[in-house]
Homo-oligomer: A and B are copies of this chain.
Amino acid sequence: MIGPEIERLIQLLSKLPGLGPRSARRAALHLMKRRDSLLVPLSESMALAAEAIRNCSVCGNLDSRDPCSVCSDHSRDRSTICVVEDAGDLWALERTRAFHGTYHVLGGTLSALQGVGPDDLNIPSLVERAKDPAVTEVILALNATVDGQTTAHVVTDRLSGSGVSVSRLAHGVPVGGELDYLDDGTLTAALKARRPL
Interface residues of A (CB under 8 A from B): 1-6, 8-9, 12-13, 15-19, 23, 25-33, 35, 38-50, 52-53, 62-65, 68-70, 73, 86-88, 91, 94
A93 to B, closest residue via Cβ = B1
Bound together, the chains give a CA A32 to CA B27 distance in angstroms of: 20
List, in ascending order, chain B residues with CB within 8 A of A48's CB.
Answer: 5
Residues in B with CB closer than 8 Å to A8 are 45
Cross-chain contact A25 with B91 (CB below 8 angstroms)? yes
Task: Write the nearest CB–CB distance from A105 to chain B, whole angstroms.
Answer: 11
A15 nearest in chain B by CB position:
B38
Chain B residue at minimum C-beta to C-beta distance from A91 = B2
Contact of A17 with B30 in the complex, beta carbons under 8 Å = yes
Q: Please, which residue of chain B has its CB at the minimum distance from the CB of A55?
A: B32
Task: Tell me the bound Cα distance from A73 to B19 in angstroms.
Answer: 32
Would A49 and B6 be within 8 Å (CB), given that A1-B70, A18-B23 are in contact? yes
Q: Which residues of B contact A52 (CB under 8 A)?
A: 5
A18 to chain B, nearest CB (A): 4
Judge whether B50 and A46 touch: CB under 8 Å: no
Contacting pair A1 B94 (CB below 8 A):
yes
Indicate which residue in B38, B63, B65, B69 contacts A12 across the interface (CB closer than 8 Å).
B38
Q: Report Cα–Cα, A89/B94, bound state, in Å.
A: 43
**By the criterion CB–CB under 8 Å, are A86 and B19 in contact?**
no
